[in-house]
Amino acid sequence: MKFNWMFSGDDNPAMKRACIDLEYSLRPRIMRFLLSRLDVDADFSSFHFDVNVDKQWVSISEKTPKEYIRKILPDFDQAINGSPFSSVA
């Protein structure tokens, strides 16, 4: 699983730290979501997500294989973006 971080402003140490903290919050939540919808045999390393830090929104990147996108897209926004990042845990 890979994250593409998008934010305005500088790539300073505080922003890097915020992205690291956010990844530690998002990764388990997204993994639980994926496991609930896909076979355990799925190649989870092929999933890519775009994280807009400014808008607090996660989307499935087009780099993710199309067959996976079709399977997870219908429920993704509600499951992952249904609550603010600050309450993601």
Range of the domain at 67: 2-87
Name the DSSP letter for residue 53.
T
Give yes or no for residue 1 having a pLDDT over 90: yes
Structure token pair of residue 39: 């076979």
Whether residue 2 contacts residue 48, with contact meaning beta carbons closer than 8 Å, is answered with yes
pLDDT at 42: 87
Give yes or no for residue 88 having a pLDDT over 60: no
- The per-residue pLDDT for range 55-81, each reduced to its tens digit, is 889 999 999 999 999 999 999 999 999
Find the farthest-apart pair of alpha carbons in the chain and give their distance in angstroms, rounded.
39
Whether residue 49 contacts residue 37, with contact meaning beta carbons closer than 8 Å, is answered with no
> How many distinct structural domains can be found in the chain?
1
pLDDT at 62: 97
| The model's pTM | 0.86
The CA distances from residue 54 to 33, 37, 50, 63, in Å, are: 23, 28, 12, 22
